[in-house]
Amino acid sequence: MITNLGEFLEKNSTFAVIGASNNQEKYGYKVAKDLKDKGFHIIPVNSKENEILGLKVFHKISDIKEKVDVAIFIIPPESGLEVLKEIKKKEIKNAWFQPGSESQEIIDYCKENDIVCIYRLCIMEATSK
């Protein structure tokens, strides 16, 4: 389990980007591209896409076979709770909620299920430091 911001941003971690997109106007694209360009290992997750930034897309977290260290949420909070339940089943212990993807219910769920979460901080800003 990650205990500080620096550990969240380890280059050797695997990041599932939930809500990754091919639409260059959306943050799902901007975050995925930014992390990939900075050398992070990302796995795009999107139920409607098959490839993003030249990478295979998984339609659900449960479809990913490799170990995921951090799940990055770029989806509305209404969808986030269901995805969090998948994350718990997959034993992913770390979640990053891009601004606007969190809610009190999601934060409470993370606390109740031992999922370390970061919210109210953009991962693109955090990786620029």
Number of domains in the chain: 1
Mean pLDDT, rounded, for 103-126? 94
What does the pLDDT read at residue 11? 77
Q: What percent of the chain has pLDDT over 90?
A: 87
Q: What percent of the chain has pLDDT over 70?
A: 96
What does the pLDDT read at residue 36? 96
> At 82, is the pLDDT very low, low, confident or very high (cuts 50, 70, 90)?
very high
Q: Which domain holds residue 103?
A: 5-126
Prediction pTM value = 0.93
pLDDT of 9-66, one tens digit each? 877 899 999 999 999 999 999 999 999 999 999 999 999 999 999 999 999 999 999 9
Q: What is the CATH number of the domain that holds 108?
A: 3.40.50.720
For residues 64-75, b (16+ Cβ closer than 10 Å) or e, as one string? beeebbbbbbbb
Q: In the structure encoding, which two tokens stand for residue 51, read together?
A: 């490839």
Q: How far apart are CA 24 and CA 27, in angstroms?
A: 8
- CA-to-CA separations, 87 to 29, 33, 34, 62, in angstroms, rounded: 21, 23, 23, 8
For residues 81-106, b (16+ Cβ closer than 10 Å) or e, as one string? eebbebbbebebbbbbbbeebbbeeb
Amino acid identity at 55: L
